[in-house]
Structure 1
Amino acid sequence: MKKYSLISLLALASLSAQAEGYQVNTFSPKQEGMGHVGVAMKLGAESNIFNPAAVAFSNKTLELSAGVSAISALGSCTYEGKKYETDNGVSTPFNVSAAFRIYDNLYAGLSLYTPYGSSINWGENWPGAILNQSVDLKVFTVQPTVSWRVLPNLSVGAGLMIGWGSVDLNKGLVTPESFDRFLPIAGMLSGTQMPSTIGNVVPASVNLTGDTQLALGFNVGVMYDINTRWTVGVSYRSKMNMKVKKGIARVSYAANDKISQELLGGSLDLLNSTNFAAEMPCPYVLTFGVSYKPIDKLILAFDAQLNGWSAYKQLDIEFDNLAEYDQHLTKKYKDAWTFHLGGQYSLTERLDLRAGVMLDLSPVNREYYNPETPGMTKIEPSVGLSFRPMPQLSIDFAFMYVFGTGADGVVGSYDNLLAKKANPALDQLAQARPELAPVVAGLKMPETGEFKADYMTRALIPAIGVSYSF
């Protein structure tokens, strides 16, 4: 079983990169329209997420807001001169926030939002299926918040983050090329005639599903009005560790292909009765922000956001009652910055216009690349507007375009499952029949493989929201 459980462990490694590739920056349709900036802005209930300190600058008794985005992402891969594209569903991260006054300088709030989550689907039989076929990751956070205005121009705030999520991942266990090379070996070892090829069909795949336990973290912030024109803010969302404790593995085989199940099923099917546990860090986010009002109708803002991905050095995986199979897979991510720049102009008392841009630098180590979320630096321009049919009610629209700068010539490595099965058997055959040693030497398979390709990603993110206050 050890030979095959190692392959499923490699599949689990893609749990984490999904968070990097689509770290969700859609906490507010208003702010999405101006580059998702907001740490030094007074956003009412939505500041629960951006900077808890800002909530106390409100002059409202109650504020409510809700929004949803629709992420339509397209990934492409060019391998050996041929282009392959993903067939993704639409992800819908959302946010709901409320804030209410306790005293004039003390507010409390509550938010529910999705800091990480997306989906990607390359298909079952594309050339990189050994690294990933599809993945669907969702992470949710609920955050109660308290905000205190210590001085007329200074406030502090803090919130408790409670997170949970789920993962559903599919990947190939054996490449068609390695299986074709294994067929004559299996025929020699068994003394039976085998077909010459399986074609381009992935012989065996694994599905990994699991729900995470509750994870705890905190969100704290400070805001200071330098004067009536300039405001600065700092916020810090702590790291949370998302743990899958009782994940389920399910193995499947190529449709209408009995040979792959006959040759592989005896060992691979053991995975169906094994639970796995894995741990994935959601990194800390430290953001410095400044906003400036050159005139009363215009506000400009800039945020510099440091994402603490260096916490993700390896992926730890454990099997129930199988401690000898525990794995610690190297990832070596690095900390990465995201920069936000945006502006809002109040065209009339009822209409606000917004525009912005976000630059998201990738933390992915190119030596450990995986296509479940093609990691690369992204440039993300956006526009938006708010319309107020009445003073208390705002209807918000935004649109963001995600442009990946590309990742060329990156390599994803994988273990060759069949080499772990065939090579020891061939060695035994050569020892038993020395006259076959030259033939056996030519049949031995490499124990690792590489998938070298060029990647690109794009995404369209429309958003709509509504807010009400009195």
Structure 2
Amino acid sequence: MKSKLLAFLGSALLSGTAMAGGYQVNLASQRQIGMGHTGTGIQTGTSSIFFNPGALSYIRENGVTIGASAISSHIAYRGIEPTSVSAEADNDFGTPFQVYAAYKVDDMLTVGLGIYTPFGSGVKWGDQWSGRFALNQIDLQAIFFQPTVSYKIGDKLGLGVGFVVATGAVNLQRAVPVQNQDGTEGSIELDGSAKTGFGVNVGAFFQATEKLSIGIDYRSKIDLEVEEGDVIFSNIPAAARGSFPDGAQFSAQLPLPATLTLGVGYQVNDQLTLAADVSHVGWSEYESLRFNFDKPVAGSNFSESARNYEDAFIYRIGAEYQLNEKLALRGGAYYDQTPVQDGYLTPETPDADSRGLSAGIGYAITESFGVDASFLYINKKKRTDSAEASRSIAGTYKATAYIPGIALNYKF
């Protein structure tokens, strides 16, 4: 029982079902989702606060954008033969959102504020599946607040910096392999909020020619620290309560990795815009996860588990076609490498290389007010960890997601 609990505690704080590599959420703008989530090398309006602060100085009008997505994810598990036990996660809808506001101080200087959710995850396996002693459910949330300053140098170069303030929370639950007198299994819940973390988002935008634009953006790593999180036990029999003390608390540090993106845009004509981005995500910062307890849990004051994530790349392409003055049509695709190495596939991080296809429309209701809508389909490769290699529940995992989204835009 002690070894099972420590194995769980060392692996369960972060989940890989965010439908992007690791626990990253790439849903920062409905317009850009429709274009494969490209945006570093083109002018994206208020959402340049996220994609490239250097391009924000190129907006022509002040603006506010409010948008959100609804993630419907499906994750299936099948155990190793001969048992081949199967399960399917019953996940709640995820609702990442974005709010952007930009104001032109003058022709050169633009300031803005972004509030968005670039990391997060959730999976709900339930309390009946065979891996319930590893995980029942988990929810991870991170929210970024980013005041931004952007300055245009001449007609060709824009530079910008955003100062990121990040906060978050985590809740996870699992069964404990003990039973009380009526046969009900014990359970453990870890619940905590993160201290404020700080980072930067720096970008440069270069209008090389009338048709060709190039951008580069760097979003720094942020360490979120959970302190005085609650460790809550339920249905623990009296004989085992010494190993599961009431009122225990935990602390842990969560790395939100840095991302470096190079983007290119090409204005084929007045109607057609093409874009391509390549991102490098510094997942190798996530080497291990350590929990510290203020009271011994299962006989120990800490647990530590190797993660050994690898750096990964994301490749994106997208297009927008302005059909008329009011209607724009969009499409895109991407390939997102997983940072999870073989042998580290778990119910918390059943991650694999992802393929995404997207489509979207933009409609200008008036000169000042418009709507963007997007739809993203994500298909993760089927992936198996053998019993010999796996550090958790060996088996095969397969995940897909359907993600509609909508945003409202106001210019003034």
TM-score by length of 2: 0.92
- The residue that corresponds to 2:155 in the other structure is 152
Deviates more, 1:346-355 or 1:363-372: 363-372
1:328 aligns with 2:290: no
- The residue that corresponds to 1:257 in the other structure is none
Which residue of 211, 216, 221 corresponds with 2:198? Answer: 216
Whole-Å Cα distance in 2 between the matches of residues 282 and 234 of structure 1? 20
**Local SS of the residue matching 1:128:** coil
- The residue that corresponds to 1:422 in the other structure is none
Give, as a single letter, the amino acid of the residue that structure 2 aligns with 1:104: D
Aligned residues of 2:14 and 2:349 also touching (Cα < 8 A): no
Whole-Å Cα distance in 2 between the matches of residues 412 and 402 of structure 1? 30
Q: 1:411 to 1:392 in 2, by over 3 A?
A: farther
Structure 1 residue 44: Cα displacement: 1.6
The aligned length equals: 404
- The residue that corresponds to 2:340 in the other structure is 364
Unaligned stretches of 5+ in structure 2? Answer: none
Give the number of the structure whose alpha-carbon radius of gyration is greater.
1
Whole-Å Cα distance in 2 between the matches of residues 5 and 103 of structure 1? 62
Structure 1 residue 250: Cα displacement: 1.2
Q: 1:380 to 1:411 in 2, by over 3 A?
A: farther
Whole-Å Cα distance in 1 between the matches of residues 71 and 243 of structure 2? 36
Aligned residues of 1:368 and 1:411 also touching (Cα < 8 A): no
Which residue of 267, 271, 286 corresponds with 2:242? Answer: 267
Aligned residues of 1:370 and 1:412 also touching (Cα < 8 A): no
1:128 aligns with 2:131: yes
- The residue that corresponds to 1:184 in the other structure is none
Percent identity, please.
Answer: 32
Whole-Å Cα distance in 2 between the matches of residues 231 and 78 of structure 1? 47
Which residue of 238, 245, 248 corresponds with 2:220? Answer: 238
RMSD of aligned residue pairs (Cα, Å): 2.4
Q: 1:337 to 1:268 in 2, by over 3 A?
A: same
1:395-434 equivalences in 2 (<5 Å)? 395-411=371-387
- The residue that corresponds to 1:13 in the other structure is 11
Aligned residues of 2:294 and 2:301 also touching (Cα < 8 A): no
1:167 aligns with 2:170: yes
Structure 1 residue 147: Cα displacement: 0.3
Structure 1 residue 37: Cα displacement: 0.6
Give, as a single letter, the amino acid of the residue that structure 2 aligns with 1:115: P
Give, as a single letter, the amino acid of the residue that structure 1 aligns with 2:279: Q
Give, as a single letter, the amino acid of the residue that structure 1 aligns with 2:169: S
Q: 1:277 to 1:301 in 2, by over 3 A?
A: same
Aligned residues of 2:4 and 2:133 also touching (Cα < 8 A): no
Structure 1 residue 413: Cα displacement: 8.3
Higher strand share: 2
- The residue that corresponds to 2:146 in the other structure is 143
Q: 1:94 to 1:411 in 2, by over 3 A?
A: farther
Aligned residues of 1:251 and 1:268 also touching (Cα < 8 A): no
Structure 1 residue 286: Cα displacement: 0.6
- The residue that corresponds to 1:425 in the other structure is none
1:50-199 equivalences in 2 (<5 Å)? 50-60=51-61, 62-79=62-79, 80-174=83-177
Give, as a single letter, the amino acid of the residue that structure 2 aligns with 1:77: Y
Aligned residues of 2:138 and 2:172 also touching (Cα < 8 A): yes
For residues 61-101 of structure 1, the C-alpha deviation after alignment (integer angstroms, 9 at most, x for no partner) is x1111100000111100113232101111010000001101
Which residue of 387, 393, 397 corresponds with 2:369? Answer: 393
Deviates more, 1:230-239 or 1:111-120: 111-120
Q: 1:315 to 1:412 in 2, by over 3 A?
A: farther
Whole-Å Cα distance in 1 between the matches of residues 388 and 90 of structure 2? 21
Structure 1 residue 452: Cα displacement: 1.5
Whole-Å Cα distance in 2 between the matches of residues 241 and 351 of structure 1? 42
Structure 1 residue 352: Cα displacement: 0.1
Q: 1:464 to 1:400 in 2, by over 3 A?
A: same
Q: 1:82 to 1:13 in 2, by over 3 A?
A: closer
1:303 aligns with 2:301: no
Higher helix share: 1
